[in-house]
Amino acid sequence: MGLIKNFDLKYTPKDYFEEFSHKRGQYLPDYDRHEVEICRVVLDSATTDIYSMRAKKTDSGILYRVVDEYGDCNFILPFAESINPLSMNQLIENLDSCKIVLKDTGEANDQYGDGLIRPSINHMVEISFTSNYDKEEISDFVAVESSFYPDLEEYYEDQKMIWIEELMQSDDK
């Protein structure tokens, strides 16, 4: 198992709402009033699928939600609300433990596991045996971006390689 760098998982942005710009995916739903994107997961698929994690300021704190271009799933987050912005560790837990539920059937969409990043890595490793994708190509399929958490992208670059190594080693056995 690889080693991940020492990241400040307690890092918490001062505020999500002082200054922000709305990043857009062409087909993502509009932002609600007082809502901002705190991170996004971009898949290098044929249609460049995007998951956008958003924070919305309310009278009682902050609500979190995930949206995508399709609108056919509900995303169940471990941290769906908070008083203050999430720590990086809490954001990672939301990204890694998010449950995706199909709206029309209520069934979990968990064929490749929970979360917004690992399932795509699991799928890419699975098809790499017939498509001959190397580790870098698998890792590059998923990108994590955030204007609020400066180490998040690097954290996931390291974490993706650890997951890929683990999956490839377990498939060799």
Residue at 29 is within a domain: no
CA-based max dimension of the chain: 53
Phi then psi for residue 73, to 5 deg, are -130, 150
Query: What mean pLDDT do residues 129-156 have?
Result: 93
Share of the chain above pLDDT 70, in %: 91
The answer to whether position 58 is within a domain reads yes
How far is residue 42's CA from residue 25's CA, in Å, rounded to a whole number?
Answer: 10
Indicate whether 140 belongs to any domain: yes
Q: What is the mean pLDDT of the chain?
A: 90
Angstrom distance (rounded) from CA 49 to CA 28 = 9
Q: Which residues pair with 37 in a beta bridge?
A: 54
Any idea what DSSP says for residue 104?
A: T
Please write the tens of the pLDDT for every residue from 26-53. 788 999 999 999 999 999 988 889 999 9
Out of 2-16, 77-91, 129-143, least confident range: 2-16
| 56 within a domain of the structure (yes/no) | yes
Establish if 11 belongs to a structural domain.
Answer: no
CB atoms within 10 A of CB 81: 14
What distance in Å separates the CA atoms of residue 161 and residue 3, rounded to the nearest whole number?
Answer: 10
Number of domains composing the chain: 1
Task: Answer yes or no: is 16 within a domain.
Answer: no
Q: Which domain holds residue 70?
A: 35-172
pTM: 0.84
Q: What pLDDT score was predicted for residue 17?
A: 72
pLDDT tens digits, one per residue of 108-123: 988 888 999 999 999 9
Residue 44 DSSP label? -
Q: Would you state the pLDDT for residue 111?
A: 86
What is the percentage of the chain residues whose pLDDT exceeds 90? 69
